[in-house]
Structure 1
């Protein structure tokens, strides 16, 4: 069922319940008012009958005539019955009576005054003291006029109820259609958007209601999709180019080697060249796998407790151990917190190791064989500055160095594929840390990594 129809039915049902309760209350009050009014009239008839039949000898002729003129107009099917102390009727036509049991008469004498009903007939009974004796006077009648009036009220209420529901349903349908009219437009606009035109956006209308909020959410999602598609496109393009270069070199080297017979020394040189290209291809493949792993773990990261200071020492020792030609890495620890637990974070140790290793390798690679310093500060959060005194980065390149496969112009003479910094940025962001860079050409570069204490 469409939202419009569901809203219309829910609104109509709600109004129907309210109207039913209100109309039922009105009818109940009307019925009670009509019934109580008729009982009062019957009670008056019983009292007047007592005066007329029992005290006619005690009132003057003029007053008696007044009672006759005012009260002797009978009610519908009215019956007046007067019972003496022996439960026998007096002063009335015995052919016009209704059956009253001795138990009912006893109850009347006990309570002095009661009202009750039997089917359509209503009764008002009083216990009357007189010098001639004590009597029970019962006036009964059928309120045909009141019943007809209540019947007309019921018919009018039912007609009003159903006609109102029809009107409310129609009005609710029109209102729901008008209120939800922007949704088909949003659906139409969304259907026009595909992988080839992700730049399109949904109209947000007045920008104030829930439909505008929905459109804005769609637009935010489209921006993320467009960015992801663009990144994927660039990634595939750059990855294809980077993979093609070592593969082309390997194929070319082997083709030249197989073109004619060669001496052992030439075979050895060619195989060394092929091995070097294969190692670069392996390094590139590992980088691409790490980049993919970072994207996967960004959704479902592994949970390890990692001391950042110990991790930096581990990275330093392994880099210098496996790369004897690298210059020195100087670690400076200052303003450390008294509680060593503040230097521990929850995250993926392998990915953080990779990120710091990439930063150190870059610094060592471009440092012109000068030592690289790492300043560690743990006073207001974990702050790490990795500084080299190498070739530096030009200002126009600083905004792009964290893009995958991007390489600054002055870095193309050095080996590498432009994956390390992009991978490091993703890993640090995944762990709630920030990374920034400051650099000057020919003076060096400083990378600043910061873990706020709330992420530690």
Structure 2
């Protein structure tokens, strides 16, 4: 029952079966009630006619009435009429179940007109008062014509029900198959897509609106998957290249050291070079591990002062570039120190600020950078500004890609992981990192409150 097709077929067919059975049952019972009402009406007319002839016409006695009824054509089969005056029978035209009729007398006097059935016959009992005397007329007859028609109707409805069910199931199967066919085609198209054909897209516009919407959503997902695969492929390629470079250098240094009889000074120099290569390898490995950290900052992280982190980043970069001129500006619209507090992974956030400030100094054209800490209601923003070569639109779209190096970085050593790490750390802290140019290169690292805030 897990198949959508089977569930559709069984569900629609069951609903059709119930609806058809209910409809035919209503038709049958309406006809049965109509037959009974019509026959009771005719039987009542017969009883009233016999009563009027017997009681209101002086020339008609019981004998003459029997002769009249025997010679009068009627559609009532095996009809019998019995007239009581009080509890005494004054007329009957045939054998009758006297004990049963006697039991109807009090009921008829209470109800006035009584309709019932007895031994496959329809029975009416009428209470009439004439000339200050009580009369009860009981008539019974067998409706052979009506019951035969009802029996025939049952068979017709049973055949209609059987044929209807068969045709209904066939029609349901046909229409469900027609409805499901676009999904089957979609399934077939999906099975053609694999890791070697991620560029393949589903056709949109040739099916129903719902299926086309599903195909369009799938194509959008495939765009993201293809982009992710492409980024992963580039990441693996560049990571392999960056890891291979220091490893190859270490192997070369080791081979040279093994081939020669080195002096203590030469051995120390080789070890120093190996140490630098190992540090480079450790830096790359650590950066790659940080790039895989997707755990967002939550309430378990401690509160830290944003201005202190900025000062620590400035001190760190100043030790790397002693001649660098770094200007720090604090733009705070509130005197409340709580505005400077944020929940953060302190080592990661310091690493992000270090990278941004180091880039600002390293790629400036005057060995200077400006750091602005801007605190506004709903947001906290750390801005890094410098003068230097600007990023092209294509470079701006790729600067956060691991191992990507823009044109202004060709002259310096690096791995192309700095801004990728910054972007990852921003995502972890649910912050926004963006680049813009207004005469100066600007990188903005902005935190917004959950209650709402803007980085603009």
TM-score class, shorter-chain normalisation, is: 0.7 to 0.9
Which residue of structure 2 aligns with residue 160 of structure 1? Answer: 160
**1:11, 1:126 → 2: CA distance?**
51
Answer whether contact 2:317 2:357 (CA < 8 A) is retained.
no
* Residues 1:74 and 1:226: Cα distance change in structure 2 (over 3 Å): closer
For 1:382, the equivalent position in structure 2 comes to 380
Q: Is the 8 A contact 1:438 1:446 kept in 2?
A: yes
Quote the residue 1:139 is aligned against: 139
On the 8 A contact 2:317/2:358 being kept in 1, the answer is: no
Q: 1:396 to 1:187 in 2, by over 3 A?
A: closer
What is aligned with 1:362? 359
Match of residue 83 from structure 1: 84
What's 1:414 paired with? Answer: 412
- Contact in 2 for aligned 1:81/1:139 (Cα 8 Å): yes
Question: Relative to 1, partners in 2 of residues 1:202 and 1:352: Cα closer, same or farther, differing over 3 Å?
Answer: farther
Decide whether the 8 Å contact of 2:44 with 2:124 is kept in 1: yes
Residues 124-183 of structure 1: CA distance to partner in whole angstroms, max 9, x if unpaired?
111222349422110011211111222222222222222122222222222222222112
Specify the alignment match of 1:288 in structure 2: 288
Aligned to 1:450: 446
1:31 deviates by: 1.6
CA displacement, residues 285-339 of structure 1 (integer Å, 9 cap, x when unaligned): 110000111xx33xx655456768x235224315625862433543322243466
Following TM superposition, by how much is the alpha carbon of 1:201 offset from its aligned partner in structure 2, in angstroms? 0.8
| Cα separation, partners in 2 of 1:243 and 1:95, compared to 1, 3 Å | closer
* Residues 52-131 of structure 1: pairs in structure 2 closer than 5 A: 52-57=53-58, 73=74, 75-85=76-86, 87-93=87-93, 95-100=95-100, 102-131=102-131
Q: In 2, are the aligned partners of 1:331 and 1:375 still within 8 Å (CA)?
A: yes
User: Is the 8 Å Cα contact of residues 182 and 207 (structure 2) preserved in structure 1?
Assistant: no
What aligned pairs does 1:164-243 form with structure 2 within 5 A after superposition? 164-206=164-206, 209-243=209-243
- 3-state SS of paired residue (1:378): strand
In 2, Cα distance between equivalents of 1:57 and 1:391: 133
Distance 2:437 2:74 in 1: 115
The match for 2:261 is: 261
For 1:232-256, what per-residue CA distance to the aligned partner results, in whole angstroms no more than 9, with x for missing partners?
A: 1111110111011111111212222
Contact 2:313 2:354 in 1 (8 A): no
How far did residue 45 of structure 1 move? 1.5
- C-alpha displacement of 1:357: 2.9
Q: Deviation of residue 123 (structure 1)?
A: 1.1
**Partner of residue 331, structure 2:** 334
Q: Gaps spanning 5+ residues in structure 1: where?
A: none
| Alignment correspondent of 2:315 | 320
Q: Cα distance 1:238–1:374, how it changes in 2: closer, same or farther (>3 A)? A: same
CA gap of 1:221–1:132, structure 2 versus 1, over 3 A, is: closer
Contact 2:374 2:380 in 1 (8 A): yes
Q: Check the 8 A contact 1:363/1:388 in 2, yes or no.
A: yes
Q: Is the 8 A contact 1:307 1:345 kept in 2?
A: yes
Partners of 1:134 and 1:394 lie apart in 2 by 116
Aligned-pair CA distance for 1:27: 2.1
Question: In the superposition, relative to structure 1, how do residues 125 and 343 fare at CA in structure 2: closer, same or farther (>3 Å)?
Answer: farther
User: Against the structure 1 CA distance between its residues 345 and 20, is the aligned structure 2 distance closer, same or farther, given a 3 Å change threshold?
Assistant: farther
Distance 1:207 1:453, change over 3 A: farther
Aligned twin of 1:16: 17
**What is residue 39 of structure 1 aligned with on the other side?**
40
Q: Single out whichever of 97-106 and 35-44 deviates more from structure 2.
A: 97-106
Residue number among 369, 374, 382 corresponding to 1:372 in the alignment: 369
Change (3 A) 1:385 1:340: same
1:45/1:71 contact within 8 Å kept:
no
Give the superposition deviation at 1:348: 5.1
More deviation, 188-197/116-125? 116-125
The alignment partner of 2:44 has SS state of: helix
Q: CA RMSD in A?
A: 3.3
Matches of 2:340 and 2:118, distance apart in 1: 91
Distance 2:198 2:115 in 1: 82
Q: 3-state DSSP class of the match of 1:57?
A: coil
Number of equivalent positions:
445
3-state DSSP of counterpart to 1:77: strand
